[in-house]
Chain A
Amino acid sequence: MKKQAQVMTGNESCALGAIAAGCRFFAGYPITPSSEIAEILSMELPKVGGKYIQMEDEIAAMGAIIGASLVGVKAMTATSGPGFSLKQENIGYACIAEIPCVVVNVMRGGPSTGLPTLPSQMDVMQARWGTHGDHPIIALVPNSVREVYDLTVRAFNLSEIYRTPVIMLLDEILAHVNEKVHLPELSELKIVNRTLAATHPEKYLPYEHVESDIPPFISFGEGYRFHVTGLCHDQTGFPTNYSVEIDRQLRRLNRKIDRYKDHIIEVEQFLMDDAEVGVFAYGSVARSARRAVLMARERGIKAGLLRPLVIWPFPEKQVEAFGKKVAKIVVAEMNLGQIAHEVEWAANRKGEVHKVNRIDGEPIHPDQILEAIL
């Protein structure tokens, strides 16, 4: 029997998706427009035996979820622009130490304190490159309340499969919009849990060069007593200055996402079969883009939409094919063209992409996108 329809916001569905995925630890710090995620989890986690803690700052919240995940408890934090900036060093730590966790960033206008209550998509590049050093990242960009739920579940699964932090990029519109949703039954969800490797503790190498490039991850407290550090390390996890091993480990770290990107990347094509004008949009903007495509069709223009659900790794192949197919490309986003640049590059259309941008805290209206399509 289908669950009853509910009306909820993206922040609510994010919190509920996390619990469904098995998240039992949340550390956070109040920040608009993400605070409801913390508020809901402070209420819901104890009911399922989970833990919620409001830390003294954003940096601490990020550190705490890494600690919790390391001892085997699925963990998440949620924040917005300024807080996302503060978390970056520890996000890098989770990358190099290969500790699964989920970081939700509800994008608001920036830079700095910017527009606390208004939406933007200004953090897409920060999600990719915000922390220092070469590292891989996975970032998801849902566009509806239901999709926030589904992708939050997927974020946890991806983080466990690939031993990596996963970033959920929401925006203020998605966070606060109320929509009718039918949430799935728990039994309908695919949940990935960490499994204890069969390796003997004496032989366990937490950063082993395995064929898959993803060494099995065992939690602290299971009798394996290994070392975890943010320093460049060898297979044992202990720091090394040996250039050959540093190179090998860092290349593996980056390769472990790159080689699986076909499994990670997810895009939606809307009316793309015969499209001559292609719109590329993600997150809440994709909803305006969808409307604009329909409005263009009403005017006899063959428009279509390519919408990524995963923005990092970037859907290069899909955008390349998109570029070959359409005569004109429109990229709509609530920033000054951060992803348009990626699209230009992937589609091999330098300087030819039509950008629709807003940075004033107002959503992009379908008319604006339609104008660019025409």
Chain B
Amino acid sequence: MASYSTQYDKYLRLDKYPLIWCPGCGDGIILKSILRSVDKLGYDKDNIVMVSGIGCSSRTPGYVDFNTLHTTHGRALAFATGVKLAKPELKVIVITGDGDATAIGGNHFIHAARRNIDLTVIIYNNFIYGMTGGQVSPTTPSGRFASTAPFGNLEPTFNISGLAQAAGASFVARSSVTQVRMLDKYIEMALQKKGFSLVEVMTPCPTAYGRRNRMGTGLALMEWLKENTITQAKAATMTEEELNGKIVTGILVDREKPEYTEQYLKLIERVQASQKERAHS
């Protein structure tokens, strides 16, 4: 497979190694998938701005040789919106996590999707606040344990991809670090899509989530994720009962919609043309 010959070193800031991610963490798998996609699409490193918020996922930009912006908690999409609107010719990739994007950053998430601004957003969904030590997140499954849900989580979860779809994103796909080829394909599609594109990636956190929920080693957690991740095609054949607790992966949305920065540039043209007209008359 050609994609596996990617020269990762070309894109990595190897002097920043070792990575802060724990053994068994899936974040590195997503990082590699992003780099394979960028390589395959032949993007110029100078032209990429990678923006992140706060959390384990959001440390990704530090390791890649692009223009990298590590912002405040939840606000990656706000900063990225400024970057993209100010310089639409830049390719803007946003890296965020379940807590960063849908708790503290939830407002920016739905509005960036609604605006359909051309950002490629990759959410590392690990069901927990990993970096701060395992607090409950908006995607921690009900009944599961966290350092701040010692008696089990009472809250229902957010369906992140469903949220982006409802809010108006052009492209939405859900994948998992256990489905790497599918992940590569989705990230490639998302990068090429004009508009707000989201890839939600399920990734295990053995240190915070797995340990609190007695799910075993990193490998065991990876196997758990693999077993519980099913494709849309398979899901279509299953009953609601069978689907309980399963993670359904696939492309949820792939549609053509007006993109915000393109629309804005057209607005400028329109305003300037009518100004000229007025000056002549």
Residues of A within 8 A of B (CB): 24-25, 27, 46-47, 49, 51, 53, 55-57, 59-73, 75, 89-90, 93, 220-231, 238-239
A59 to B264, CA, bound (A): 22
Set of chain B residues within 8 Å of A47, measured between Cβ atoms? 271-272, 275
Interface contact A90-B72, CB-CB below 8 Å: yes
| Pairs across A and B, CB under 8 Å, 9 listed | A25-B86, A60-B111, A67-B51, A67-B78, A71-B82, A90-B75, A221-B87, A224-B67, A230-B70
Q: Assuming the A-B contacts A53-B85, A220-B49, are A228 and B70 also in contact, with contact meaning beta carbons closer than 8 angstroms in the complex?
A: yes
Residues of B69-125 at the interface with A, using a CB-CB cut-off of 8 Å, are: 69-72, 75, 77-87, 89-90, 107-108, 110-111
Interface SS majority for chain B: helix
Chain B, Cβ-Cβ closest to A56: B111
Q: Assuming the A-B contacts A64-B81, A71-B90, A73-B87, are A93 and B46 also in contact, with contact meaning beta carbons closer than 8 angstroms in the complex?
A: no
Set of chain B residues within 8 Å of A46, measured between Cβ atoms? 267-268, 271-272
**B138 interfacial contact with A, CB 8 Å:** no
Set of chain A residues within 8 Å of B62, measured between Cβ atoms? 227, 229, 238-239
Interface-central residue, A62, A72, A226, A229, by most chain B CB under 10 Å: A229
Q: Assuming the A-B contacts A46-B268, A49-B268, A223-B46, are A63 and B82 also in contact, with contact meaning beta carbons closer than 8 angstroms in the complex?
A: yes
Chain A, Cβ-Cβ closest to B264: A51
A225 to B46, CA, bound (A): 6
A63 to B264, CA, bound (A): 19
Given A66-B79, A225-B66, output 13 extra A-B contacts at Cβ < 8 Å: A46-B268, A49-B268, A55-B81, A63-B81, A65-B82, A67-B86, A68-B83, A69-B82, A221-B46, A221-B49, A224-B67, A228-B69, A238-B62
How many contacts A-B (CB < 8 Å)? 134
Residue from B51, B85, B111 in contact with A51 in the complex, judged by beta carbons closer than 8 Å: B85
A373 to B175, CA, bound (A): 73
Residues of B within 8 A of A (CB): 16, 45-47, 49, 51, 61-62, 65-72, 75, 77-87, 89-90, 107-108, 110-111, 264, 267-268, 271-272, 275
Chain B, Cβ-Cβ closest to A224: B67
Q: Assuming the A-B contacts A57-B107, A220-B90, A227-B68, are A67 and B268 also in contact, with contact meaning beta carbons closer than 8 angstroms in the complex?
A: no
- Least CB distance from B249 to A in Å reads 29
Interface contact B67-A220, CB-CB below 8 Å: yes
A24 to B268, CA, bound (A): 12
Interface contact B79-A67, CB-CB below 8 Å: yes
Set of chain B residues within 8 Å of A93, measured between Cβ atoms? 71-72
A64 to B72, CA, bound (A): 12
Chain B, Cβ-Cβ closest to A61: B78
Set of chain B residues within 8 Å of A60, measured between Cβ atoms? 75, 77-78, 81, 107-108, 111
- Least CB distance from B140 to A in Å reads 24
Residue from A25, A222, A227 in contact with B82 in the complex, judged by beta carbons closer than 8 Å: A25
Set of chain B residues within 8 Å of A222, measured between Cβ atoms? 46
A73 to B85, CA, bound (A): 10
Interface SS majority for chain A: mixed
Set of chain A residues within 8 Å of B16, measured between Cβ atoms? 238
Set of chain A residues within 8 Å of B272, measured between Cβ atoms? 46-47, 49
Chain B, Cβ-Cβ closest to A49: B268
A89 to B79, CA, bound (A): 13
Interface contact A225-B111, CB-CB below 8 Å: no
Set of chain B residues within 8 Å of A68, measured between Cβ atoms? 82-83, 85-86
Set of chain A residues within 8 Å of B72, measured between Cβ atoms? 63, 89-90, 93, 230
- Least CB distance from A249 to B in Å reads 16
Q: Assuming the A-B contacts A47-B272, A67-B83, are A55 and B90 also in contact, with contact meaning beta carbons closer than 8 angstroms in the complex?
A: no
A297 to B68, CA, bound (A): 60
A90 to B79, CA, bound (A): 10
Set of chain B residues within 8 Å of A230, measured between Cβ atoms? 70-72
Set of chain A residues within 8 Å of B68, measured between Cβ atoms? 225-228
Chain B, Cβ-Cβ closest to A60: B78
Q: Assuming the A-B contacts A228-B69, A229-B70, A238-B16, are A66 and B61 also in contact, with contact meaning beta carbons closer than 8 angstroms in the complex?
A: no
Interface contact B83-A226, CB-CB below 8 Å: no
A90 to B108, CA, bound (A): 14
A229 to B73, CA, bound (A): 11
Interface contact B86-A63, CB-CB below 8 Å: no
- Least CB distance from B230 to A in Å reads 34
- Least CB distance from A2 to B in Å reads 22
A62 to B79, CA, bound (A): 8
- Least CB distance from B237 to A in Å reads 40
Chain A, Cβ-Cβ closest to B70: A229
Q: Assuming the A-B contacts A60-B75, A90-B75, A230-B71, are A225 and B80 also in contact, with contact meaning beta carbons closer than 8 angstroms in the complex?
A: no
Interface contact A56-B90, CB-CB below 8 Å: no
Chain B, Cβ-Cβ closest to A71: B87
Set of chain A residues within 8 Å of B75, measured between Cβ atoms? 59-60, 63, 90
A276 to B56, CA, bound (A): 62
- Least CB distance from B81 to A in Å reads 5
A61 to B81, CA, bound (A): 9
- Least CB distance from B10 to A in Å reads 12
Chain A, Cβ-Cβ closest to B59: A239
Set of chain B residues within 8 Å of A65, measured between Cβ atoms? 82
A227 to B79, CA, bound (A): 14
Chain A, Cβ-Cβ closest to B16: A238
- Least CB distance from A218 to B in Å reads 10
Q: Assuming the A-B contacts A46-B272, A49-B268, A221-B87, are A67 and B66 also in contact, with contact meaning beta carbons closer than 8 angstroms in the complex?
A: no
Set of chain A residues within 8 Å of B67, measured between Cβ atoms? 220-221, 224-226
Interface contact B86-A73, CB-CB below 8 Å: yes
Interface contact A225-B275, CB-CB below 8 Å: no
Interface contact A67-B111, CB-CB below 8 Å: no
Interface-central residue, A25, A57, A71, A230, by most chain B CB under 10 Å: A71
